[in-house]
Amino acid sequence: MKRKGKVVLGMFVVVMIFAIGAGLLMAEAKKEKSLKGITLRWITGPHATTDAVLALLPEFENETGIKVIPDIMDEEREFTKITTEFAAGSLSYDVISVRDTDIPTFIDMGIIRPIDDLINLDILPVPGCDIEDYPPALFETMCRWYGKIWGFPYLSGATFLAYRKDWFEKDGIAPPTTWDKLLKAAEHFTKGGRYGFVFRASRGHHAAYAWYTTTMYAFGADHFNYDTMMPTYNTPRSVESLEMLIKLGKYCPPGYVSFSHEEAVSSYVKGIAAMLSEADLLIPWVEGEGSEAAGNTEYLVMPKAYDDVKLWAGNCGWLWTIPTTTKEVEAAMIMLEYFTSKRNEKKMVLNGGIAQRMSTMSDPEILSRWPWYKHVMEAEKVGKWPHPITTESTAVNVIVGTHVNAALIGQEKPQDALNKANKEVYELLKEKGIYNK
C-alpha cells in the first residue's frame, strides 16, 4: 500500500510539473501572441527626447513585436487635435505625450487614465518600473495628481539661462548673475546682426510660459492666491516682471514675438543670440551636432529679483500617458515602461534625449560627456510648477499669453494687459464653477 501510494504521489507530481510547465508555455505564448502584430499610434511634440525615441523605435519594435506610428506636431496643434477628437468620439491614439499645462485638463476631461493598476503588470520586464529612481519633487509634482499616478516623465526639467561664455569672456562681460548684469550684457551684444537675448513669445501658451519662467516667478509673483483661487496676475510685482520681460524683448531678434521654443533655441544655436531663457530639457539641442553654441555655453538659474523669493525656476515637462479610449492598454504600458526604464534611458540620452532619472543624471559617463547635468539637478532644487494649478490651466495660459504677447508687441501697456488677463481669468473660473467648489 505504501509503495502504491508513492507511485500515485510520484505520478501526481509529474503530472503537476507537466501541467505547470505547459501552463507557463501557454501563458508565454499568449503573451507573445497578444503583443506581436499590435500597432500603437503615438502623438507627441517636437523635442530632443522625441528624436531619441524615434532612434530607438526599431529596437523596441524588434524586441516586442509592437509597431508604433508616431504623429509629431506643435504642442498647440496637438492639444486642439486631441481635445477635438475626444469630444467627437474619434480619438485614435494609444499613447499620448502630454505637455505639463494640459495634464490637469486631460484628467478633468477624462482623456487619460491613471496607471497605478498597470505599473506592476507581470508582462513588464521590471514590474514597479523603478519609480523611486525619479527625483521625488519631479515625480510628485508631474506624475501624481489627486492621489493617483497618471504617467511617467517623457521629458522634464527646470528653466535655465544659457549664455555664450566664449562671447562673454572675449568681451570681458560679467556672467549674467543679476538682472542689472543681464540687461547690460543684452544691450552690449545687440549689434552687428547679433542680439543679446531670445525667448519664446508667440501668442498664447508660449508667451505665458516665457513670462512665468523668465521673470514672473523670479520677481516673486504667482498665478493665484491659492486659498481663494483669486487670480493675482496684476499685482505690482507681476507688472514689474512683465516690464522686465518687455525690456528683454528690445534685445531679441526680429520676429521673436512669433517664436515657439523651436525658433528660440534655433536663434541661439545659430549664433544669433547671446542668451537664451528656456527649459533645460532642450539643452541637447543647444549642445547638439551643428550647434555653434555647443561647448561654448554656460548655464545658470535665472536670477531672482528679491531675496524673499524661494522657488523661481519653473519645473516643466511632458508625461507619457495612456488615453481612456485605447483598447491596447497593456501594449501601451509596455511602450511606456520601455522608453522610461533604467536599462534604456541611458541609450535615450546617448541618442540626444534628456535624463529624467537620478541614476542617469549621476552616471559617470553621462556627467563626463554632459557636465551640465549638474546644473539640471541644481535648478530642480529651486523649481516650482510653472503653470496655474487648476483644471483650466490650458485656457488660463491662452488668456494670459494673449495679453503678454500684446504687451510685448506694444498693443497693450503692461498694467492694462495684466488687468485684462486677471479679469478674464476670473470670469473663466467663475463660469467653470471653480468658486462654487
DSSP letter for each residue of 111-163: -B---TTTTT-TTSSSTTTTGGGS-HHHIIIIIEETTEE--EEEEEEEEEEEE
62 burial level (CB within 10 Å; 0-12, 13-18, 19+): exposed
The CA-CA-CA angle for residues 9, 11, 12, to 5°, reads 60
Positions in the chain whose pLDDT score sits under 50: 1-33
pLDDT score for 28: 40
State the architecture of 38-156+316-383 in CATH terms.
3-Layer(aba) Sandwich (3.40)
* One fold for 38-156+316-383 and 158-315+388-436: yes
DSSP letter for each residue of 279-326: EGGGHHHHTSTT-TTTTSEEEEPPPPSSTT----EEEEEEEEE-BTT-
Residue type, 205: H
Residue type, 50: T
Residues 190-227 as b/e (b if ≥16 CB within 10 A, e otherwise) read beeebbbbbbbbbbbbbbbbbbbbbbbbbbbbbbbeee
Tell me how far apart the terminal alpha carbons of the chain are, to the nearest angstrom.
76
pLDDT score for 403: 98
Total residues found in the chain within this entry: 437
**Whole-Å CA distances, 287 to 49, 298, 351:** 14, 11, 12
Predicted TM-score (pTM) of this structure? 0.75
- Measured between alpha carbons, how far is 129 from 141 in angstroms, rounded to an integer? 18
* CATH code for the part of the protein at 158-315+388-436: 3.40.190.10
CA–chain centroid gap for 145, Å, is 16
166 burial level (CB within 10 Å; 0-12, 13-18, 19+): middle
Q: Is the CB of residue 129 less than 8 Å from the CB of residue 119? A: yes
Q: Is the CB of residue 202 less than 8 Å from the CB of residue 260? A: yes
pLDDT digits (tens, 9 = 90+) for 269-281: 999 999 999 988 7
Domain edges within the chain: 38-156+316-383, 158-315+388-436
Residue type, 134: Y
383 burial level (CB within 10 Å; 0-12, 13-18, 19+): buried
**Whole-Å CA distances, 48 to 75, 194, 265, 284, 354:** 14, 25, 12, 6, 7
68 burial level (CB within 10 Å; 0-12, 13-18, 19+): buried
pLDDT score for 215: 98
CA–chain centroid gap for 372, Å, is 18
pLDDT score for 23: 41
**Whole-Å CA distances, 30 to 21, 110, 200, 320:** 14, 31, 49, 26
